[in-house]
Amino acid sequence: MTRDDTADSTSSTIGHLLRDLAPQVLGALTRRHGDFADAEDAVQDALIAAAAQWPNDGIPDNPRGWLYQVATRRLTDHLRSEIARRRREDVVAAESSGDDATTTVDAELDAEQDDTLILLFMCCHPALTPASAISLTLRAVGGLTTAEIANAFLVPEATMAQRISRAKGSIKTSEVAFRLPNEEERAERLSAVLHILYLIFSEGYASSVGPDLQRTDLANEAIRLTRTVHHLLPNVGEVTGLLALMLLTDARRSARTGPNGELIPLDEQDRSLWDQQLIADGGALVSRALSTGSIGPYQLQAAVAALHDEAARVEDTDWPQIFALYGLLERMSDNPMVTLNRAIAAAMVHGPAVGLEYLQPLDADARMSGHYRLDAVRGHLYEMAGDPERAVAHYRAAAERTTSIPERNYLTTKAARLAAEQRKVSAPTASVDMPNA
């Protein structure tokens, strides 16, 4: 190991440690001082200070206590300057006890339960737009710096800082209390949390911006956060299902792109590149989730992913089972993407003509008509049906409509390949019809 390797591994150890500690310190500080927004800023400052100092000074004996102390000091400084600014003295008394002896810090940190869940419920509050919730979750619960999040979403750091600060403003205005949501609303709020985690994963898996298909840092972060939730709520089927879905999808990561960053679809992937450990872990989670009783959309999607992952060859895929699972999913959620996937499964089981029939209702669905995926799937099914002319037209239309560069390149190549084959087949007759140039 060279010096640089050692330095790299130290800084990555520190990075992991900071991300794990961030929600604990933030939870404790918010409990103590009451203001989530200010506490969150203070913890962010402490994380940045740690990332700058620890690589040189070494990790302190009590890293969590260190972060809590520094964050408390920042918060106190901030409140003092705020107070000075507003010339309001009545708040001083409430905050003057900021710097306590180190001994009480640990007691305070250990006294409460894990606050990660409360923080997640807060950051994924329905009052926030998904984009705000995602950014805030990554910072407050994920322990990422604003710069890292900005980088992951390809926006300037100032923009991301503003997005996060506005998100915190909305939480303040909505007067979201720092506690677990009560029984009646808990299920709904948990599904909002899972949705945000799912969006973070999807963003990492199929980037909606930029030239690259996947940004693994976000996918990893989503998996880490979902693991945490699963650890805290091991018996909630949908949490287990979501974690399984992520692992089973992530298992195919290195097979999804070619040397030029091009997209490789499931049926053309080199399955020896799939991560068998992730497939085994994900598969075990699905079985466990499905045995809990209440079945939800994430569990069903994970079950589909498991069926794909467990097929050693494309032709071994259990399409009838996948078709049945999409049928269940369609009954459970009104999502046109499910109908689209069900049509593909139908085509694999009953032939392309049936698949095309299943697509028809989507033309009347405003969310889907004119969407590139509908054209892409039609292209695929017409290709299966041996109608290259229609297939090429749909692939081209899809390529025109997609806003993802890798998708566009993939669809354009698909159309080009089919068109070239067609030219080869029809070349002899075509030359007869050619006018004499």
Partner 1 sequence: MRYILMMHAPRATGDYQINSWSPEDFQAHIAFMRQFNRDLVESGEFVGAQGLAAPGEAKLVRAGKGGVPITDGPFAESKEFLAGYWIIEVDSPERAYEIAAKASVAPGPGGVPLYMPIEVRQVMSAPMPADT
Binding site for partner 1 (CB under 8 A): 211, 260-262, 396, 399-403, 405, 409, 412-413, 415-417, 419-420
CA atoms 136, 285, 207, 338: torsion sign: negative
- As a whole number of angstroms, the distance between CA 190 and CA 175 comes to 18
Distances (CA, A) of 341 to 187, 220, 301: 27, 26, 11
Read off the DSSP letter of residue 263: B
Of 130 and 210, nearer to partner 1 (C-beta) is 210
Read off the DSSP letter of residue 315: G
Of 162 and 257, nearer to partner 1 (C-beta) is 257
Query: Which pair of structure tokens corresponds to residue 282?
Result: 């994900």
Per DSSP, helices labelled H in 251-351 are: 276-290, 297-309, 319-332, 336-350
Bridge partners for 263 per DSSP: 257
Cβ atoms within 10 Å, residue 201: 23
Of 166 and 408, nearer to partner 1 (C-beta) is 408
Of 103 and 260, nearer to partner 1 (C-beta) is 260
Three-state SS letters, 83-143: HHHHCCCCCHHHHCCCCCCHHHHHHHHHHCCCCHHHHHHHHCCCCCCHHHHHHHHHHHCCC
Of 103 and 403, nearer to partner 1 (C-beta) is 403
Of 288 and 401, nearer to partner 1 (C-beta) is 401
Of 34 and 211, nearer to partner 1 (C-beta) is 211
Return the amino acid letter for 332.
M
Number of H helices, E strands in the chain: 20, 0
Of 158 and 177, nearer to partner 1 (C-beta) is 158
Is residue 151 within 8 Å of residue 28, measured between CB atoms? no
Of 284 and 405, nearer to partner 1 (C-beta) is 405
Query: Which pair of structure tokens corresponds to residue 159?
Result: 């923009």
Of 272 and 403, nearer to partner 1 (C-beta) is 403
Of 270 and 316, nearer to partner 1 (C-beta) is 270
Burial of 204 from C-beta contacts in 10 A (0-12 / 13-18 / 19+): buried
Please state the φ and ψ torsions of residue 2, each to the nearest 5 degrees. Answer: -85, 170
CA neighbor of 43 nearest in space, from 78, 11, 16, 10: 78
**Smallest separation, CB 264 to partner 1 (Å):** 13
**Smallest separation, CB 403 to partner 1 (Å):** 5
Say whether 257 sits in a helix, a strand or coil: strand
CA neighbor of 10 nearest in space, from 55, 48, 57, 51: 55
Distances (CA, A) of 234 to 239, 292, 405: 8, 11, 39
- As a whole number of angstroms, the distance between CA 340 and CA 335 comes to 9
Cβ atoms within 10 Å, residue 398: 26
Read off the DSSP letter of residue 333: -
Return the amino acid letter for 436.
N
Is residue 26 within 8 Å of residue 140, measured between CB atoms? yes
**Smallest separation, CB 284 to partner 1 (Å):** 39
**Smallest separation, CB 415 to partner 1 (Å):** 7
**Smallest separation, CB 15 to partner 1 (Å):** 24
